[in-house]
Structure 1
Amino acid sequence: MNRRRFLTRTALLAAGAAAAATGAFALSPARNRYYQGPPGPNFDGTRFFNPGGSPPKGFADLLKWQTGGGRVRWPDSVGIRPAIPAPRVDDLIITMVGHATLLVQVAGLNILTDPVWSDRASPFSFAGPRRTTAPGIRFEALPRIDAVLLSHNHYDHLDLATLARLKQAHDPLVITPLGNDTIVKDAVPDMRIVTGNWGHTVALGPATVHFEPCHHWSARGTRDRSMALWSAFLIDTPAGRIFHIGDTGFDQGRPYRDLPQKHGKIRAAILPVGAYEPRWFMRDQHQDPAEAVEGFLLSGATHAVGHHWGTFQLTNEGRDAPPRALTAALEAKGIGPDRFRALAPGEWWAIPA
């Protein structure tokens, strides 16, 4: 293979892995093999969509981004000190595992968000975004996990290998939006799983989990774009309310602005702050730190944890750019750093009452 063909093939493979992680695939006519149901406010009978929102970009834009330069090189690895969480917590402690994986310990419950312990966020074992840091909690050091909040099916959020390990070791209840159960059950048939649409609720011990809208999309391959739903979650517990978004575009503030009226005071918001450059490509799917601060203010939350940065390089910005940009955005709004923290893998935060 000559050098030109090798470089072209390498670029296409990298683009495909990035597409798998970010969901940037071209639309292809196909029957929905994940979910069958009547059309509704966010479902056209085949695909889910963001009402009034921006449609996803296609493969041509993906290639333009992947071949356009501007990508800041990350370090090959960053050392961390893994946390050792308590078995149970009566109040509220949030520990960063990495990327969108966090351990939320609240009111005696242990909840994982979008758990990924695999080395790559990719359908391939040999290509695609690779971990820069080890998980912030060793899998063997996890406390007993009661539930998993699974926000959508992109590979940096839905990791079937990790879900299979969790099933064997902890048997948690997986709470996920419509269609994702089919993907999980194909790989882990006996997984306990419950699904919901935006506006639905699930009882979880002393807590109630609400499915909330956010602006994103989904894909595992080239023919399943937006055939499984994406969602944010509001967890109402005796120790306070927690709002969690795995991925979202800011979308004029719509994921946030109705929360105070619908749910009242939120104690902690867990918001994505990374994977946002270049803005022309990423704006509709990934908010940047300044938009995360705007969302924090709209939500009325008292504190916030920033995630979705520092573990897998999915986009162009440098590894440490999101926390720096978050600091600048907080200063611009006169918000103290004690209210909104971008946690690194292995860091934990006992959220003030």
Structure 2
Amino acid sequence: MRKNVNPYYSGPVSDHFDGVRFFNPDGFPPRGLADLFRWQLGGRRVQWPGRYDSPFRPAKPDTAVDGDRLRVTMVGHATLLIQVASLNILTDPVWSRRASPFAFAGPQRRNAPGILMNDLPPIDIVLVTHNHYDHLDLETLSALHEEHEPHIVTPLGNDTIIRRGVPNARISVLDWGDRLDLDDDIVIHAEPCHHWSARRTSDRRMALWAAFVVETPAGKIYHIGDTGFHGGTNYRAAREKHGAFRLANLPFGCYEPRWFMEGQHQNPEEAVMGMLACGAGHVAGHHWGTFRLTNEGIEDPLRALEAALDKAGIEGARFRALRPGEVFDVPHAPAA
């Protein structure tokens, strides 16, 4: 691949696209291969158990949730089923055994999906935040399309990747700041987050990454698949633009070592700061305990989250570290 050719997206230069690659304004790109080898060969990786089973049995969701109810069910990692306003929304769906381009190598699931694929309700919308393998899984998207034909919403360039595995998928593609009006009551916005993208070493930052805001009659939902904290800039911007959120789905795992991960994965303390900065009444915490991607122990995020919530004076019930199969019926009013 020639370095000046983007295989996924062609469009005008913007404040986060240089004509070939996307970037984080006033931020920084991912570290290079030398730093990757330094991390991988540096040791200090806490061993994970071969299995980390959830205490919850696989959920069997209702067909729909309506009225002012809002329900989130954890599947695993960043895959959540959001049920609101009679819609069923999946985020970054991954049912595969590995988060990897290979069936025989790469990060392997430590627990079973919290919903069996056959027990899913009719899926209306799929949100794909970016193209890393733990968030964009073509095998899962193909299975979902075959059974549900959902409307997939994703940032610029990811549609090209998805169509390679699901040629007939219905896809809406958004840039940061774009909105998708599904009907009079449901609007999806794509907003900035501090991250990056790649499916291989030669296509870094050639497809966009994004967070999503979902406006519903039951309240606003802020979903982030992956992000570095970036001084809270994007959290504050989201609150200024959209107001407070009934629910934020925030990653809080996969964060060590900090010198390598700070720009792409926030830690639990930063996730709590993000919760406050965006004005979230409640948080569904994700991106921990399923795929071993970084150095911390499997339950280290839980202990760090508890300490961060205590330090901030926030009740633990407001920031739920969800396990596969766990169902979270989100209170309507933000907690005091």
- TM > 0.5 fold call: yes
Aligned to 2:28: 54
Return the alpha-carbon distance in structure 1 between the equivalents of residues 150 and 79 of structure 2. 15
Deviations 1:51-79 (A, max 9, x none): 00012101111111111101111111122
TM-score (norm 1): 0.91
Q: Is 2:79 aligned against 1:78?
A: no
1:240 alignment counterpart = 219
Which deviations, in whole Å up to 9, do the C-alpha atoms of 1:178-205 show, x marking residues without a partner? 0000000111100110101000011234
Asked if 1:110 is matched to 2:88, the reply is yes
Q: Which residue of 1 aligns with 2:138?
A: 160
Normalised by the length of structure 2, the TM-score is 0.96
Residue 133 of structure 1 aligns to a residue whose secondary structure is coil
Q: Name the structure 2 match of 1:173.
A: 151
State the one-letter code of the partner of 2:298. Answer: R
| 1:277 maps to 2:256 | yes
* Distance in 1 (alpha carbons) for counterparts of 2:166 and 2:310: 46
Stretch deviating more after TM superposition (286-295 or 80-89): 80-89
Aligned residues: 327
CA distance in 1 between partners of 2:139 and 2:240 (Å)? 39
One-letter code aligned to 2:51: S
Mapped to 2, the partners of 1:312 and 1:298 lie a distance apart of: 28
**Inter-partner Cα distance in structure 1 for 2:262 and 2:236:** 18
Distance 1:28 1:121 in 2: 27
CA distance in 2, matches of 1:39, 1:54: 18
The SS at the match of 1:297 is helix
- What's the C-alpha RMSD, in Å, of the aligned pairs? 1.1
Residue ranges of structure 1 left out of the alignment (5+ in a row):
1-26
Partner AA of 1:52 in structure 2: D
Amino acid at match of 1:151: T
Query: Do 1:74 and 1:313's aligned partners in 2 also have CA atoms closer than 8 Å?
Result: yes
Q: 1:132 aligns with which of 110, 122, 142?
A: 110
Equivalent residue number for residue 88 of structure 1? 64
State the alpha-carbon separation in 1 of the partners of residues 246 and 106 from structure 2.
36
Q: Could you say what secondary structure the match of 1:324 adopts?
A: helix
Given that residues 30 and 223 in structure 1 are in contact (C-alpha distance below 8 angstroms), is that contact kept between their aligned partners in structure 2?
A: no
Return the offset for 1:99. 0.3
Q: Distance in 2 between matches of 1:260 and 1:125?
A: 41
Distance 2:203 2:295 in 1: 26
Structure 1 segment 1-353 matched on structure 2, within 5 A: 29-80=3-54, 81-90=57-66, 91-205=69-183, 206-353=185-332
* Identical aligned residues as a percent: 60
The answer to whether the 8 A contact 1:270-1:305 is kept is: yes
3-state DSSP of counterpart to 1:258: helix
